[in-house]
Structure 1
C-alpha cells in the first residue's frame, strides 16, 4: 500500500512539475511571440508583373516567383498530397500532433541528434512566417505555442492556404502555383495526380528531391507520397497504379514572356520604384500598360529590318568569329552556338560547307542552308561611304568555320546573311487623342544595349522640327502662299565666323511659297521665316507642344532643328499636330493593381471638343476640378487647345504634301491619302528622322549612331528613317479606313499663282487653290502685288 502511494505521489509530482515547467516556459516565451492576427493581412512576396493592354506578359521583376492561390481554388488532390506527405492528421489535430512529437523525441533519444521536428503543417506555417529555421529547443517551443494560437485564430483552410503559398519549392518557386509553372509550364489545375505528388515531395528538401536535378530521388519520394495517399484512402488502387506508372515529365520552364518589349518593361520598372520604392518588387503589383502587343511586335520588326537594311547598304563587316575549320568538332561547335545569344532577330550560325550557289550552316535548332540570293548583297564594308567589289560566289563572302548571323525577312521562309548593326534606331508611337504610348522601341536589342534611345537619347532633330516653326508662322500673319526667297545667306557670329546654311544638295530656288518650302524642306526659307517672325515669339509658341524651352536654342539655327529632343518628345509634339491642335502628355501605365485592388488608374489629358475649355493646370489648385467622366466611366482631363484648329488643318495639308510631292514620297507605298509627316536630317547626316501621322496614330522614328557620326552621304530621313516608319504604319493602319483630320470652319480656298502666291482671276492658266484663314484670305486685285519676304527685308543679326 505504501509503494502504491509512493508511485501515485511521484506521478502527481511529475505532472505538477511538468505543468510548472511548461507554464514557466509559456510565461517566459509568450510575451515575445508575434501576433497571429497579422497572418490575416500577410502580404506574400509576389513579384512585379507587367502586361500589355491586351494582357500579354511583358516582364516580371522580383527575386521570388510566386502566384498566390486561394484554398477554394486549389485542387483537392493537391491538398491531399501535402497532407499525406507532411501531416496526415492535419484536419483533426489542434495545431500540434502528440504522436509526431513523440516520434521526434524517440528519434532524439535513440540517436542523440534531432532527426525530425515532428512539425505539423500549422507549426511549419508558424516557422515560415515568424521564426528562423535554427534547430534549437526554444524555437521549437515557440513553434508549438504559435501553432496553438494559429489554430484558434484561423480556419484549417486559411492555414493550409498560407502554407501552400509560402513554402519554398526550389528554382525560385515559392508556392504551389509558381512550382506548377516552373516544373511543368502549366496552371496548377491542369496537373496530373503524379505531378501533384511530385510537387508535394519538394518541401522536405527542395534540392535533394528536385525532379530536374535529382530525378531518381524525386521519383522515389513521389511514389512514397502516392503510397501514403492510397493508404489514407485519398486515391483508389487504380489511381495509384496509374500515377506510379507515369514517367517524370518535369523540366525547367523559365519565365514565359509573351511580348518582347524590354525597353517598355524597364520604363515601367523605374516608374514603379519611384512610386512604391523597393516594395514594388515584392508586394504583388500588376501593371497594365497602354502598349498593344500587335503594334509593339510591328515596331520591333520595323526597327530590326530597317537597321539591317541600312547595314546592307553599307556592306558586310565580316564574321563575328572564326572557328578553325580543320578542327571540326560538332559537339564543340554546338557548345559555341549555345553560348552565343540571339541578338534582335539575328540567330547565330556556323558555316559548315560553302558551295557554288549556297552555304550550309549549323544552327542551335539544327542544320540549315542559305542560298546565293541571301548572300549576294554582301560587298565588304570599307567605310561608311565605300564598299568592296560585288561578290560573285559564296566563297567570296564566307568561309567554313565562320560564326555568322542569319535572319528571315518578313514574309520569307529563307535565311539571309546579316551582322549585328553598329547603327541604332528608336520608334515611339502614340494615340494622338490622349497621348497613350501604343509602341516603343529603344534600340536594336535590349540585351545588347540597355540604353533607351526612345526616351533618353536627346538628338538634334533637324528638319523634323520645321512644322512647329511654320505653324507659328501660320498663326502670326503668314500664309501657306506667302513667298520667301530661297537664296544664299551669310551671317556673321560674335566670334567673327560666318554661318552659310544651305539646302540639301546645295542648290537654291529663289522665291518659294511656304507650303512648297516645307514639303521640299528648303532651309533658307525656314531661316528667313523665323527671322521675320522673331525668335522669341517662335520659341514662346513652340513650347506649347511640350518642348522644354531650355532646349530651344535662341537663334536662327532653331529653324533648322538645332535643338536636341528625344523621339518621345518629338512624337508628343506631332500628336498635337495630329489631333487638331491639342496638347496631350505621353503615358504608358494604364492601371496598377495591388493584389485584387486597383490602386492607380490613369487620368490622361484627352481631346474633348465638346468639353468646356480646360484652364492651365498650373493655375488650378485642385486638379480634381478639371476631371471629366467619359461615357465608359473613365476619367480624364480635357486637353488644352494650343493651336488654332484652322492653322492646324492647313499644316496638316502641307504635311500631306510632304508625302504626295516632297521628301516623304516613299510613304505613297501605303496607298493612303490621310497621312502627313516630315523628314529630318542633320548636318553631315548624323541623325535621320521621320515623324508622321493620321488622326489615329502619331509615330516618330530616329536612326543614327550612339556616338554621333555621319550615316553616309546618301542617308537622309527619307532614306534611313522613313522605311521604318512605313513598315510600322503599314501594320498599325492595316484594315482601318482612312481617317483624315476634319476641316474646321473659318477657312476659305483661293485661286493663286503657284509661282508668286498671289490671288489670280478665275481661268488663269496654271493657277491652283490654296487654303487660308478666312481673315487672311487675299482677294484678287491686279493693281496690288501680294507681300513677300526677300533679301531686302532680312536684317543680319547675331544668331549664335
Structure 2
C-alpha cells in the first residue's frame, strides 16, 4: 500500500512539475511575445475591402469594380437566425468564453484522439478574427500561441457584438464573396434579411471550407453540411422542431448571381472608374466608394436599344457577309464547342446551323435549344458586294446558310427569330439635360466587350453640316437675318497650300441661286455656308464658336470651316447644341454627381453651372467674352449660375431655323414623333465618312454619330438623315414620351413681319405668296419688295447679296 501511495505521489509530483514548467514556459512565452503582438486598435475603425460601386441617378447599379465582393453590415442589420446558425456551426459558447474556449479545446483534442479527425470547437470566432486580420495561415505552434494571445487581447478591448460583426463581414465564403451580406447576394440574389432559415444554415456552413461545401460547386456535400448546421441549431434550442424539419426538407436553391447591373452603361462606368483611380489610386477598388452619376437608367437603356437598332439596320441595308465561321457538319460536337465558346455580343446571339429547308433554317443555341428562322428572318440577306452594292435577293434558305455555319440571330418577337450579323460600322449616342449639362445617357459603341474605345469622348471626327448652325449663329450676331439672301452658285477658290483649285459643291451637285438663310440651313446648302463664312470673316467665326466650348486648335482657319472640317467629339458637339436648347447659356457636360465613402459621408458633390433665367446673368451680350464654366468640389456654396454666351434673340432665332430642318428640311423624318418643339441638324461629311444628327427640345439635347473606326465611306446615300437620324428618333421618342411640348419662350426684342420669299424684303400688302419671318428689332427690312415686271405694279426687285 505504501508503495502505491509513494508511486501516486511521485506521479502527482511529476504532473505538478510539468504543469509548473508549462506555466513558466507559457508565462515566459507571453512575456516574450506580448510586446510583439499587433495593436488591435485598428479593429475599432476597421475599413473592409469593399468594391467601387457606380450608380445611376435613380440608384440603379451600373457597375462594380474590385476583386472582393463585400456588403458590410452592422450587427443590428444581421438577422438573428444568421447569427445563431454561425454560432451553431463555429462557436456555440462564443458569448460565454473569454476569447479562448478551453472546453472547446479539450473537446476538440478528445475528438482528435478518438477519431483521428479534427472536429468543431478547437478555434473560437475571436481566434479566427485574430488570424484573419493579423496572422498568416501557417500551421505552427508559434502562430497558434500568437492567435490565442491576440484573441484574449481582442476580447479585453472589444465587445462581443463588435467581434462578431467583424467576423461576419470578414470571412471568405466562396465565389469572391466576403462576409454574409455578399454571400446572400452571390448565392441567392437577395439581401441577407430576406433569406430563409435553410439559406442561413447553408451560408453558415461555408466558413469551414468554402470550396468543399460550396452549394454551387458541390451541392450534395453542401446539403450535408447545411443539415449538420441545422441539427446543431436544433440541439442548442435555437430553432423549433417544426422549423427544423421544414428547413431540412428545403431543396438547395443556390446559384451564382453576378453583379446585378440594372443600367447598362459600361462606357460611362469606365469613364468614372478612370476618374476615381485618378483621385484615389488603387484604393478606389477597395475602400467602398459609392459613386452616383447623372445617368437616367430608363434613358440609358433606351439609348442602348436605339444605337444597336440603327447599326443593325444600316448593316442589313449593305448585305450579308456570310457566317462568322464554318464548322464540319460531320463533327457536330466540334461545332457545338465552337458555339459555346462564342459570346453574345451586342445582343446578337450565336447559333449553329443544324439544318436548312427550302424557306427556313433550324439552328441550335449554346444551351442546346433548337429554334427555327423563318423566311421572314432570312430574305433580307442579299450577299454583300461592296459598300454600294449587294447581290440578288435570295430565293431559298440554302442561298444564305448551310449546315455547320456559325451565325448570329436576334429575337424579333415572342418565339420569333431573324438572321443577324455583327456590324462592322460603329456609332455613338450622348444626351444631356441642357440646363445643367448632366449626361442623361451615353453609349460609346456597339458593344463594350468588343471595343472599349469610347466614341463619345475619344472619337474626334468631322461634324460636316452638323457644324453649320454655329456659323449661322455667328452670322446673326454680325447683323444677318433668317431672310438675308445669299447666292447659291458655283464658286472656285485657290488652295495656296495645295496649289490647286477648290470647287465646293452641294450634296446634290445642283445650284439654286439666291437663297434665304433659313432655307439654306434647312436644305443644308454648302455654297451658301461658305459664302456666309467669307462674309463674316474666318477669324471672327473661330473666335465666336469657342463660346460653345469648342477647342480652337480643333478648328481650321479657312473656308472649309463652314462645312464642318474641324474635328470634334460627340460630347463636344452635344455641349454646343445645349446652348441653343437652353436659350443661350454655356453648360459643362458632366456625369459625376456625388462620391460617398462606406459611412455615407459625401466626399464630393458636383455643383455644375446651371441655367437660371431669373438670376442676374453673368456674361454680357455683344462681345460675349468666353468665360470659364464654374464647378465647386463640395461644400455649401450657392449654385453656380451658367454664363450666358448667346443673346436670347440669337438663340431663339437659331432654334427656329433648326425646327424648320425637321418641319421641311433634311430632318423631316423626325416628324413621325408628332412634336412641334424639336429642332436639329443633319451632318454628312465628304464621301459619307461620317453621319450625324444633333437635335433637342428645351428638356433634352442629343447627338448621334455613325461611321467606321477606320474611316471609309458609309456608302452612297448614307447621309446623316438616313444613317444617324433613325437612332435619334428612336431615342428621343422614349426620352420625350409623356412630356408636354417645351420650347424656350420668345424673348423681347424680336418682331415678326410678312416678307417676300424671293427677296427677303417686306411683303407688299396684296402679295399672295408672302410668308412670315422673325427678326431682331434692329434688323427688320426697311424696304418693300417691288412687284415683278408684267404685274402692272412697276418693275425691278430689291438688290440681292450675290457675293
Partner residue of 1:26? 30
CA distance in 2, matches of 1:334, 1:256: 29
| Cα contact 2:691–2:706 (8 A) shared by 1 | yes
| Cα contact 2:554–2:566 (8 A) shared by 1 | yes
Does the alignment pair 1:790 with 2:802? yes
Does the alignment pair 1:154 with 2:158? yes
Partner residue of 2:613? 609
**After superposition, what is the alpha-carbon deviation per residue over 1:628-652, rounded to whole angstroms, capped at 9, x for unaligned?**
97xxxxx531110000110110000
Does the alignment pair 1:278 with 2:289? no
CA distance in 1, matches of 2:309, 2:409: 12
* Residue segments in structure 1 that go unaligned for 5+ positions in a row: 630-634, 792-800
Task: Summarize the Cα distance change of 1:112–1:735 in structure 2 as closer, same or farther, 3 Å threshold.
Answer: closer
The 3-state SS of whatever aligns with 1:68 is coil
CA distance in 2, matches of 1:786, 1:604: 49
Does the alignment pair 1:505 with 2:508? yes
**After superposition, what is the alpha-carbon deviation per residue over 1:508-551, rounded to whole angstroms, capped at 9, x for unaligned?**
11111111111111111111111111111111111111111111
| Cα contact 2:86–2:204 (8 A) shared by 1 | yes
CA distance in 2, matches of 1:443, 1:114: 56
Does the alignment pair 1:684 with 2:687? yes
Q: 1:64 aligns with which of 68, 76, 80?
A: 68
Q: 1:546 aligns with which of 543, 546, 549?
A: 549
Partner residue of 2:537? 534
CA distance in 1, matches of 2:314, 2:384: 12
Q: Report matched runs for 1:160-559 at 5 Å.
A: 160-327=164-331, 329=332, 333-364=335-366, 366-409=369-412, 414-494=416-496, 495-559=498-562
* Residue segments in structure 2 that go unaligned for 5+ positions in a row: 787-795
| Cα contact 1:670–1:730 (8 A) shared by 2 | yes
Please say which of residues 356-365 and 227-236 is displaced more in the overlay. 356-365
The 3-state SS of whatever aligns with 1:680 is strand
Q: 2:652 aligns with which of 649, 652, 666?
A: 649
| Cα contact 2:753–2:772 (8 A) shared by 1 | yes
Deviation at 1:242, TM superposition (A): 2.6
Deviation at 1:39, TM superposition (A): 0.8
The 3-state SS of whatever aligns with 2:416 is coil
Deviation at 1:615, TM superposition (A): 6.2
CA distance in 1, matches of 2:50, 2:439: 27
| Cα contact 2:607–2:631 (8 A) shared by 1 | no
Q: 2:604 aligns with which of 586, 595, 600?
A: 600
Partner residue of 2:790? none
Deviation at 1:413, TM superposition (A): 5.8
**After superposition, what is the alpha-carbon deviation per residue over 1:287-339, rounded to whole angstroms, capped at 9, x for unaligned?**
22211121111111111111111111111111112233344x4x555443322
**After superposition, what is the alpha-carbon deviation per residue over 1:751-790, rounded to whole angstroms, capped at 9, x for unaligned?**
2211111223322231112111111112235699766532
| Cα contact 1:627–1:636 (8 A) shared by 2 | no
CA distance in 2, matches of 1:623, 1:354: 62
Task: Summarize the Cα distance change of 1:412–1:528 in structure 2 as closer, same or farther, 3 Å threshold.
Answer: farther
Partner residue of 2:49? 45
Deviation at 1:729, TM superposition (A): 0.7
| Cα contact 2:619–2:644 (8 A) shared by 1 | no
| Cα contact 1:127–1:143 (8 A) shared by 2 | yes
CA distance in 2, matches of 1:482, 1:628: 49
CA distance in 1, matches of 2:196, 2:672: 54
| Cα contact 2:606–2:634 (8 A) shared by 1 | no
Deviation at 1:627, TM superposition (A): 9.4
Partner residue of 2:793? none
| Cα contact 2:327–2:334 (8 A) shared by 1 | no
Partner residue of 1:560? 563
**After superposition, what is the alpha-carbon deviation per residue over 1:124-167, rounded to whole angstroms, capped at 9, x for unaligned?**
11111111111122222221222112112222111111101100
**After superposition, what is the alpha-carbon deviation per residue over 1:685-711, rounded to whole angstroms, capped at 9, x for unaligned?**
000000000001100000000000000
| Cα contact 1:306–1:724 (8 A) shared by 2 | yes
Task: Summarize the Cα distance change of 1:622–1:734 in structure 2 as closer, same or farther, 3 Å threshold.
Answer: closer
Partner residue of 1:795? none
Please say which of residues 231-240 and 466-475 is displaced more in the overlay. 231-240
The 3-state SS of whatever aligns with 1:416 is strand
Task: Summarize the Cα distance change of 1:45–1:683 in structure 2 as closer, same or farther, 3 Å threshold.
Answer: same
Q: Report matched runs for 1:695-710 at 5 Å.
A: 695-710=698-713
The 3-state SS of whatever aligns with 1:572 is helix
Please say which of residues 101-110 and 236-245 is displaced more in the overlay. 101-110
**After superposition, what is the alpha-carbon deviation per residue over 1:40-91, rounded to whole angstroms, capped at 9, x for unaligned?**
2111111111122222211111001111122112121211111111111101
The 3-state SS of whatever aligns with 1:459 is coil
Partner residue of 1:659? 662
| Cα contact 2:587–2:629 (8 A) shared by 1 | no
Aligned length: 783
CA distance in 1, matches of 2:635, 2:686: 45
Does the alignment pair 1:771 with 2:783? no
The 3-state SS of whatever aligns with 1:83 is helix
| Cα contact 2:466–2:683 (8 A) shared by 1 | yes
Task: Summarize the Cα distance change of 1:621–1:751 in structure 2 as closer, same or farther, 3 Å threshold.
Answer: closer
Deviation at 1:398, TM superposition (A): 1.6
Please say which of residues 387-396 and 455-464 is displaced more in the overlay. 387-396
CA distance in 2, matches of 1:661, 1:777: 24
The 3-state SS of whatever aligns with 1:643 is coil
Partner residue of 2:791? none
Partner residue of 2:589? 586
Q: Report matched runs for 1:721-740 at 5 Å.
A: 721-740=724-743
Q: Please give the TM-score of this superposition, normalised by the length of structure 1.
A: 0.93
CA distance in 2, matches of 1:719, 1:326: 44
CA distance in 2, matches of 1:722, 1:696: 19
**After superposition, what is the alpha-carbon deviation per residue over 1:265-304, rounded to whole angstroms, capped at 9, x for unaligned?**
1111111111211111111111222111211111111111
Please say which of residues 596-605 and 545-554 is displaced more in the overlay. 596-605
| Cα contact 1:472–1:541 (8 A) shared by 2 | yes
Does the alignment pair 1:35 with 2:39? yes
CA distance in 1, matches of 2:666, 2:414: 30
